[in-house]
Copies of this chain bind each other. A is one copy, B any other.
Amino acid sequence: MAVGGDEAGAAAVAADEAAFRAYLRDHNLPATAQRLAIAAVVLGTDRHLSAEEVAAELRARGQQAGTATVYRTLEVLRRSGLVVERDFGEGFKRFEAARGVPHHEHLLCTACGRVTEFRDERLERMTTLLADAHGFVRQRHRLVIHGLCRDCRAGAGAPAPRRPSLS
C-alpha cells in the first residue's frame, strides 16, 4: 500500500518538505534521514495517518524507523505547524498535513473509514454565536459528521473494507 505520489500536489509537498528542513535548521535540530523520511510520508499524502500507519509506510519504502522516533518526529512536525494532530475517538491519534488550511471540518464514513474535509464559513460564524449565547468566548471548535460516503451508500449490501483505496 503505497502512500503519496500524486495524491497531493507535488509542488506543494516539495515546498512543505523544504519548510520542514528550514524549521529543523532554524531550531538547530539535525535533519536526520528518519526525520526527513517521516516528513515525506506525512506531508506527501492527503490521508490522516496513524503513527502505526506511518511506520508501516516507512517500512514499505525500505526506510524503517523505530516507534519512538516516529512519535518524536510527529511531535516535531506538529510543533513546526506543518502537521496537525487529530483524535477521532478511535483510541489512537491521526496526523494530517496542515497545508496551510486555517480550519476545516471532517466527514467520516462509518462503513469504510474514509475521511473527507470541507470548510464552511456559516458554521464558523454560528459556533461563535452559539458560544456567546452560553457565556463562552469561542477559541476553536471541532465538528465531525458521521455518515455513509457515496461509495458505501451505493454498495449498501456489502460494506466496503475498513481500509479504503487511496481514491
Contact = CB atoms under 8 A, between A and B. Distances in A.
* Stoichiometry, copies per complex: 2
**Which of A133, A143, A149 gathers the greatest number of chain B CB atoms within 10 Å?**
A143
A131 interface: yes
A95 to B, nearest CB: 14
Contact of A87 (B89, B138, B150): B89
A87 B142 CA distance: 13
Interface stretch (A35-43, A54-62, A103-111): A103-111
Contacts of A149: 135-136
Interface in A103-130: 105, 107, 109-110, 116, 118, 120, 122-123, 126-127, 130
A139 interface: yes
A25 interface: no
A51 to B, nearest CB: 15
A130 B120 CA distance: 9
Contacts of A134: 107, 116, 118
Nearest to A133: B118
27 contacts: A89-B89, A105-B130, A107-B130, A116-B134, A116-B136, A118-B133, A122-B126, A123-B130, A127-B143, A127-B145, A131-B147, A135-B149, A135-B150, A136-B148, A136-B149, A136-B150, A137-B148, A137-B153, A138-B145, A138-B146, A139-B146, A139-B148, A140-B145, A142-B143, A142-B144, A142-B146, A143-B143
Interface of A: 87, 89, 105, 107, 109-110, 116, 118, 120, 122-123, 126-127, 130-131, 133-150, 153
